[in-house]
Structure 1
Amino acid sequence: MLKQLLIKTDKKCLYKFVYNLGIKGAIGLTRFKKRLKKGEFFPAFHFISVTDDCNLNCQGCWVTGKTKNARMEPEMLDKIIIQSKEKGSYFFGILGGEPLMYKPLFEVFRKHSDCYFQLFTNGTLLSPGVASELRTLANVTPLISFEGDMEVADVRRGGNNIYEKTQQAIDNSTQAGLVTGVAMSVCKSNLELAFSEEFINSLIKRGVLYLWYYIYRPVGKDATVELALSKEEIEKLRAFLVEARTKYNIVIVDAYWDQNGKGLCPAASGLSHHINASGDIEPCPVIQFAANNVADGDLTDIYKNSKFLADFKAEIPLKTTGCVVMDDPQWIVNHVNKHGAKDSSGRGNEAERLSAMPKVPSHGSAKEIREKSWMYRFAKKNAFFGLGAYG
Structure 2
Amino acid sequence: ATDMRRGKGTYRKVIEAMERMRKHRLLFGYSTCYHRYNTESVGSDEFVDDMIARGCRFAWNFTYMPVGKDARVDLLVTPEQRAYMYRRIREIRETKPIFAMDFWNDGEFSEGCIAGGRRYLHINAAGDVEPCAFIHYSNVNIHDVSLLDALRSPLFMAYRKRQPFNDNLLRPCPCLDNPEMLVAMVKESGAKSTDMEAPEDVEVLCSKTEETAKAWAEVADKLWAENPKSKRKVCGAAQ
- TM-score bin, normalised by smaller chain: 0.7 to 0.9
Q: Which residue of 1 aligns with 2:204?
A: 353
Distance (Å, rounded) in 2 between the aligned partners of 1:263 and 1:243? 21
Amino acid at match of 2:125: A
Deviations 1:265-286 (A, max 9, x none): 1215701011111111111011
Question: Does the alignment pair 1:155 with 2:4?
Answer: yes
How much has 1:301 moved relative to structure 2? 3.3
Secondary structure of the residue aligned to 1:211 is: strand
Q: 1:299 to 1:370 in 2, by over 3 A?
A: same
Contact 1:189–1:227 (CA<8 Å) still a contact in 2?
yes
Distance (Å, rounded) in 1 between the aligned partners of 2:137 and 2:117? 18
Match of 1:315 among 162, 176, 188: 162
How much has 1:228 moved relative to structure 2? 0.9
Distance (Å, rounded) in 2 between the aligned partners of 1:238 and 1:268? 24
Q: 1:278 to 1:269 in 2, by over 3 A?
A: closer
Q: Which residue of 2 aligns with 1:185?
A: 33
Identity rate, percent: 28
Q: Report the structure number with the largest CA radius of gyration.
A: 1
Q: 1:328 to 1:255 in 2, by over 3 A?
A: closer
Contact 1:213–1:254 (CA<8 Å) still a contact in 2?
yes
Contact 2:112–2:165 (CA<8 Å) still a contact in 1?
no
How much has 1:164 moved relative to structure 2? 1.9
Q: Which residue of 2 aligns with 1:174?
A: 22
Q: Which residue of 2 aligns with 1:274?
A: 122
Match of 1:324 among 174, 186, 202: 174
Contact 2:22–2:55 (CA<8 Å) still a contact in 1?
yes
Question: Does the alignment pair 1:333 with 2:183?
Answer: yes
Q: 1:356 to 1:252 in 2, by over 3 A?
A: closer
Contact 1:289–1:336 (CA<8 Å) still a contact in 2?
yes
Q: Structure 1 stretch 216-225 or stretch 284-293: which is displaced more?
A: 216-225
Amino acid at match of 2:80: E
Deviations 1:316-373 (A, max 9, x none): 42446422212343542342222221111121234353254241239775213659xx
Distance (Å, rounded) in 2 between the aligned partners of 1:333 and 1:260? 24
Secondary structure of the residue aligned to 1:272 is: coil
Contact 1:268–1:317 (CA<8 Å) still a contact in 2?
no
Alignment length (residue pairs): 218
Q: Superposition RMSD on alpha carbons, in Å?
A: 2.7
Aligned pairs for 1:249-260 within 5 A:
249-257=97-105
Amino acid at match of 2:2: A
Contact 1:291–1:341 (CA<8 Å) still a contact in 2?
yes
Distance (Å, rounded) in 2 between the aligned partners of 1:191 and 1:294? 37
Secondary structure of the residue aligned to 1:192 is: helix
Q: 1:318 to 1:355 in 2, by over 3 A?
A: closer
TM-score, normalization: structure 2?
Answer: 0.80
Contact 2:2–2:11 (CA<8 Å) still a contact in 1?
yes
Distance (Å, rounded) in 2 between the aligned partners of 1:268 and 1:295? 18
Distance (Å, rounded) in 1 between the aligned partners of 2:157 and 2:24? 43
Q: Structure 1 stretch 349-358 or stretch 214-223: which is displaced more?
A: 349-358
Q: Which residue of 1 aligns with 2:96?
A: 248
Q: 1:258 to 1:351 in 2, by over 3 A?
A: closer
Distance (Å, rounded) in 2 between the aligned partners of 1:291 and 1:212? 29
Gaps of 5+ in 1: 1-151, 372-391
Q: Which residue of 2 aligns with 1:74?
A: none
Q: Which has the higher contact order (CA 8 A, sep 6+)?
A: 1
Q: 1:258 to 1:193 in 2, by over 3 A?
A: closer
Q: Which residue of 2 aligns with 1:233?
A: 81
Q: 1:328 to 1:286 in 2, by over 3 A?
A: same
Contact 1:292–1:306 (CA<8 Å) still a contact in 2?
yes
Distance (Å, rounded) in 2 between the aligned partners of 1:268 and 1:290? 10
Secondary structure of the residue aligned to 2:162 is: helix
How much has 1:290 moved relative to structure 2? 0.2
Deviations 1:131-162 (A, max 9, x none): xxxxxxxxxxxxxxxxxxxxx222211x2122
Q: 1:249 to 1:338 in 2, by over 3 A?
A: same
Distance (Å, rounded) in 1 between the aligned partners of 2:160 and 2:107? 21
Distance (Å, rounded) in 1 between the aligned partners of 2:153 and 2:33? 31
Contact 2:165–2:181 (CA<8 Å) still a contact in 1?
no
Aligned pairs for 1:283-298 within 5 A:
283-298=131-146
